[in-house]
Structure 1
Amino acid sequence: MIDSDNRKPILLVALGGNAMIKKGQEGTAVQQRDNLKVTVRQIARLSQTHRIIITHGNGPQVGNLLLQQECCDAVPKMPLEILVAQTQGQIGYMIESCLDSELMAQNLNASPLVSLISYVVVDEHDPAFKTPTKPIGPVYTKTQAEAASWPFHKTAKGYRRVTFSPKPVTIVEKHEIKQLIDMDFIVICCGGGGIPVIREGRAFSGIEAVIDKDLASARLAVEVGADLFVIATDVKGVATNFGQKNQKILRTLTLADARKHMRAGHFPEGSMKPKVEAAMQFVGIPGKRAVIAFLEEIEQAVAGKAGTEFVA
């Protein structure tokens, strides 16, 4: 293991599912690769000055796998934690191959890349298991949602299927991830928030749930000693009165103001609220930076010129 003292700072970038599938798209492999180019172009350049960890969402992809299963009875149906593992491999491969191509295209010094299947421990007694709240899969109309047999919630984008979303307790592979970034690997991990597992003695067992990827990313950022945590999404930053005429993007946000705005209901459940909670958790540690920013402005966010910067 290489000593990490006096080396490049650690940057964790959490990519939303919209980094790969934009609203209105079918989500073909070509579309997902094309959408990734904007993001990985920035990450390639940032890898010259930072040690990089990439996490990512999987809501559309895991939802599509569930739909595929429901449309076919010829093969056994897999539990949700297996589908999360499948999307980790699928999306990790796409990010890794696109990033490798971009490093070569820019003629940059290329760090080795690795995609890691990641487990995340949750508490089987978490109250989140009483009510499904985490959106997965595509957007439905109200009529489609009312006709379906699954639980749905109305989100800012429309009606989406929801499942249980317990809080992450710890990342099982945190020590391996830390060793890899200390060896200057670019690590892609915790896809879709990680595979949710519960402890059974000294072993782990998968559980039917999806972990919020931003909360899992914040947990990982703390556990590996990241310096900067950037949540990249499809808006310019955190806003009050989102979607209304008096919407206001907040350039900086103190922890006290974040709590106040959260109590006032400015951050919707299942969209901006977990992002704000994740940023608050990380920036509560002295000397840490957390930014929520637009996918196309990751570099500017790292430079302190874009997004919503959280201030303790």
Structure 2
Amino acid sequence: MTVIKDASSESWHLGDMTLAHGSTLVIALGGNALLNAGEPATGTSQRANIAKVAAIIAPLLSRYRIVITHGNGPQVGLLAAQTADADWPLDVLGAESEGMIGYVIEQELANRAPTQIFATLLSQVIVDPKDPAFQHPTKPIGLIHQDRSRLTSLGWDAVEVASGGWRRVVASPPPLKIVGLETIRVLLAAKVTVICLGGGGIPVSLDGDGRLAGVEAVIDKDLASSLLARALDADALIMLTNVVGIMEHFGTPKASLIRRTTPELLSEQSFQAGTMAPKVAAAVAMAGKGKLAMIGGLGDLQALLDGTKGTWVLPDGSPL
């Protein structure tokens, strides 16, 4: 697909779409954005990673209206292990990690873009407490343990990971609705950079009387970010992770980067559950609304926007 920059308007023409100045972008941070594999889960290492993220995103803040979401898998799992005897539920720990990580992201961005205005929100996301996901927990959280007995002694489900060791798994039902969406709309209209939906948001259920209650689960950050982007009618969903994009024949000698694709083309392939599959599903849902989704490496953000790196998922029928 040909990408053309219009010097007069500084817009990027994507077929019949444009990503112009003032466009709304939802940027979902994952992978090496917060904690690299093998790194100690210390505040120092995580702040250093977030500082790198802030340096990459800060130059975009004057050009676009931006909402930043982020993962929390290692952090919420570590908090759960640290507070196991206190019996804090996952929704509360999710809120704690969302505030903790959001605070550091906001501070690092503000130090690099002092004229911008920021708001970090605790985001509740409604799920169905009767969803089958609760019977088959699959979402890994927390650090890798060499001894499974530590996890099972706490009554937690565990799965063996490919690199060796064990990791806790919890239910990950699909997000249905974001609570407080209108607040985000108001902030964006006021040109506030919003940080929200940490860890996919705080999982809650809604009873027949309209009362909210926490749910013992975590929500996939990319699926929740796609739901948010579509609800906001954002121009693009950008998922930044520790891979260069969507790979065809991943894990084989024939592996190759998919540069441009559509939901129809992606439906012909399968992707690894828990890693690329949710990102593909999030991108497909965004493209299904006639908008653009991008997947790529954190350090490639500007090149991803330029169309020179990563994967773009475009609406069906787009020229590739």
> Deviation at 1:18?
2.7
Q: Using the alignment, how far apart are the partners of 2:229 and 2:148 within structure 1?
A: 36
1:305 counterpart = 2:319? no
1:111 counterpart = 2:119? no
Q: Using the alignment, how far apart are the partners of 1:28 and 1:18 within structure 2?
A: 14
From 36, 47, 52, the equivalent of 2:66 is 52
CA deviation digits over 1:93-127, x for unaligned, max 9? Answer: 110011111224xxxxx320110000001112212
Question: What TM-score, normalized to structure 2?
Answer: 0.87
From 194, 198, 201, the equivalent of 2:201 is 194
CA deviation digits over 1:230-277, x for unaligned, max 9? Answer: 000001001123233222121122212211112xxxx11111110110
Q: Using the alignment, how far apart are the partners of 1:186 and 1:203 within structure 2?
A: 29
From 95, 98, 107, the equivalent of 1:97 is 107
CA deviation digits over 1:108-164, x for unaligned, max 9? Answer: xx32011000000111221211100111011244xx237741322345655421100
Give the corresponding residue for 2:233.
225
1:284 counterpart = 2:288? yes
Give the corresponding residue for 2:278.
274
Q: Using the alignment, how far apart are the partners of 2:81 and 2:97 within structure 1?
A: 14
User: Alignment RMSD, CA only?
Assistant: 1.7
SS state at 1:260 partner: coil
Q: Using the alignment, how far apart are the partners of 2:71 and 2:180 within structure 1?
A: 18
1:55-74 equivalences under 5 Å are: 55-70=69-84, 73=85
1:138 counterpart = 2:143? yes
CA deviation digits over 1:180-204, x for unaligned, max 9? Answer: 0110000000000001111112111
Q: Using the alignment, how far apart are the partners of 1:68 and 1:193 within structure 2?
A: 21
Q: Using the alignment, how far apart are the partners of 1:96 and 1:196 within structure 2?
A: 23
Give the corresponding residue for 1:80.
90
Q: Using the alignment, how far apart are the partners of 2:144 and 2:261 within structure 1?
A: 30
Q: Using the alignment, how far apart are the partners of 1:156 and 1:260 within structure 2?
A: 26
Q: Using the alignment, how far apart are the partners of 2:163 and 2:172 within structure 1?
A: 19
Q: Using the alignment, how far apart are the partners of 2:253 and 2:21 within structure 1?
A: 46
Give the corresponding residue for 2:215.
207
SS state at 1:291 partner: strand
1:124 counterpart = 2:129? yes
1:176 counterpart = 2:183? yes
Q: Using the alignment, how far apart are the partners of 2:188 and 2:262 within structure 1?
A: 30
SS state at 1:139 partner: strand
From 47, 57, 78, the equivalent of 1:43 is 57
Gaps of 5+ in 1: 1-5, 105-109
Q: Using the alignment, how far apart are the partners of 1:165 and 1:292 within structure 2?
A: 21
Give the corresponding residue for 2:267.
259
1:33 counterpart = 2:37? no
Q: Using the alignment, how far apart are the partners of 2:163 and 2:279 within structure 1?
A: 16
Gaps of 5+ in 2: 1-19, 316-320
Q: Using the alignment, how far apart are the partners of 1:257 and 1:147 within structure 2?
A: 43
Give the corresponding residue for 2:14.
none
CA contact (8 A) 1:228 1:289 kept: yes
Question: What TM-score, normalized to structure 1?
Answer: 0.89
Same amino acid, percent of matched pairs: 40
Q: Which amino acid aligns with 1:244?
A: T
From 220, 245, 254, the equivalent of 2:253 is 245
Aligned residue-pair number: 291
